[in-house]
Amino acid sequence: MFERFTEKARRVIFFARYEASAFGSREITPEHLLLGFLRENASTANKYFRSPTADESMRSKLMEQLPRGEKIPTSVDIPLNQDARRVLAHAIESSDQLGHKDVAPVHLLIGLLRLEKSLAASVLREHDVTVEMLSETFKQAEPPVKSEPVVSPAPSIIRDACRDLTALAADGALLPLIGRERELQTIMQVLGRRSGNNPVLIGEPGVGKTAIVEGLAQRIADHRAPEFLHEKRLLALTPERFGAFPGNRRQFEPRFSAFIDEIAEQSDIILFIDGLFEPVDPKASPFSAELGRLLAALSFSQCIVTGTKAGYEAAVMRDPVIERHFRAIPIAPPDEADTIQILAQLKKEFEQYHGIVYETTAIEAAVRASVQFMSRFPSPGKAVDVLDEAGARAKLRAERQKPGDVSLIVTGADIETLVAEMTGQSVEAIRQRLGKK
């Protein structure tokens, strides 16, 4: 329904949802839409009104007459009521009649006036706002309203606080994703839903949730994703750039508010928040504490988040509405064959970093030894850790040797020795168990 709505028109509805929440209304009414218009167009509304104080007067009248109940959390889904939906339908019709491609905020005003018996229409008429006057004002505007241009580069808060994964993928800066076809298809399927279209990847740290999201970014960049994702930008939120750590609320709050406003303006964004649902105190996690405002901003954008099963269940227990906004997708560790392929892809990165070389036997040993002797940690994360530490170990060892020494090569035996030290097992026991495989 909102495909033709400009970003400003979408923001009117976004603010209307905020107003309904503040008034304790379970539905968005035409009056909330008018309040949303006044909030979104605070600096330009007077070009549609004859009096410079009309917007303030309208807001005061609505505030006096609208029923007020207990404030509803913004995480609660607040739908448009039947009259508000009629307003939107009238707005679309008005746009067509005026020969405009898109639906702008002024079309919403016309839609409100056409719902003649509503309080919103009455308040507008009291201030001499008519359909004819709005239509004439629109015809005289230069230039006529068309599609609002896409802003590039991204607004400053988004640019500062996020990594554009689709841009990185287009530049070839992301590692290729091995396997995970089923998980990718499920994520794209959820993103294509009409509601509840925010995937949450549930799994223990180290199972590869972030790698799967980066794999999705690569598919979008390569146009190998479904068509409805082709124009999307997948942005990874970096909490540290908000000052998002305990005791830093003063720095976090204004930046987060500005971020929310910018996200609400851009429907082409899919926001990725790693670790949103973790089993931690919400007070120590600002993004968890502000989940309601984030969900409200996602009315016209989408989100992919990750978390553990315990963290997600705790969040749902605190606020059951989360289940309506997010679709949980379990992410299991990859099997041994896929984990070996993943490490084979990562091998070059670690070789360049450490200045060493890994034999093929080292990759296989890192996977098999970590699976059998480090069961408390999931794959592929634990195998990657073993590979990384083995590289660091070889680099340090090489500093004590002559140039060209074979210590710059990491073998399967080196991996077995390292795992033995890390787990307290004997090298003989590890080799015996691996030999039985």
Pair (251, 325) in one structural domain: yes
CA–CA gap between residue 256 and residue 288 (Å, rounded): 12
Pair (27, 136) in one structural domain: yes
Pair (53, 84) in one structural domain: yes
Binned at pLDDT 50, 70 and 90, residue 15 comes out as confident
Pair (168, 316) in one structural domain: yes
Report the CATH number at residue 272: 3.40.50.300
**Mean pLDDT value of segment 269-296:** 68
Pair (28, 58) in one structural domain: yes
The per-residue pLDDT for 238 is: 74
Binned at pLDDT 50, 70 and 90, residue 154 comes out as very low
**Mean pLDDT value of segment 177-204:** 92
CA–CA gap between residue 92 and residue 85 (Å, rounded): 11
pLDDT above 50: residue 205: yes
Short-list 233, 232, 248, 257, CA closest to 157:
257
Q: How many CB atoms lie within 10 A of CB 44?
A: 12
Pair (348, 309) in one structural domain: no
Binned at pLDDT 50, 70 and 90, residue 150 comes out as very low
Residue after which a domain boundary falls, among 140, 170, 203 = 140
Q: Which of 143-147, 181-185, 246-250, 351-355 has the lowest mean pLDDT?
A: 143-147
Pair (312, 365) in one structural domain: no
With pLDDT > 90 as the criterion, what percentage of the chain qualifies? 21
Does residue 150 belong to any structural domain of this protein? no
Pair (274, 297) in one structural domain: yes
Pair (380, 395) in one structural domain: yes
Pseudo-torsion of CA 206, 212, 218, 219, nearest 10°? 170
CA–CA gap between residue 433 and residue 339 (Å, rounded): 19
Provide the domain count of the chain: 3
Pair (125, 174) in one structural domain: no
- Non-local CB neighbours of 312 within 8 Å, separated by 6+ positions: 200, 202, 277, 328
Q: Which of 57-66, 127-136, 306-315, 321-330 has the lowest mean pLDDT?
A: 127-136
Does residue 186 belong to any structural domain of this protein? yes
pLDDT above 80: residue 415: yes
Q: Which domain holds residue 223?
A: 156-330
Pair (73, 189) in one structural domain: no
pLDDT above 50: residue 141: no
pLDDT above 80: residue 430: yes
Better pLDDT: 77 or 38: 38
Does residue 131 belong to any structural domain of this protein? yes
Pair (223, 344) in one structural domain: no
Residue after which a domain boundary falls, among 306, 330, 354 = 330
pLDDT above 50: residue 241: yes
The answer to pTM > 0.75 is no
**H-type alpha helices, 41-161:** 54-65, 82-97, 105-114, 119-126, 131-140, 156-161
Does residue 146 belong to any structural domain of this protein? no
**Mean pLDDT value of segment 28-49:** 78
**Do the beta carbons of residue 176 and residue 347 sit within 8 Å?**
no
The per-residue pLDDT for 242 is: 61
**Do the beta carbons of residue 217 and residue 323 sit within 8 Å?**
no
Q: How many CB atoms lie within 10 A of CB 287?
A: 19
CA–CA gap between residue 293 and residue 271 (Å, rounded): 14
pLDDT above 70: residue 14: yes
Report residue 370 as tokens.
């970590």
Report residue 175 as tokens.
């590692």
pLDDT above 90: residue 31: yes
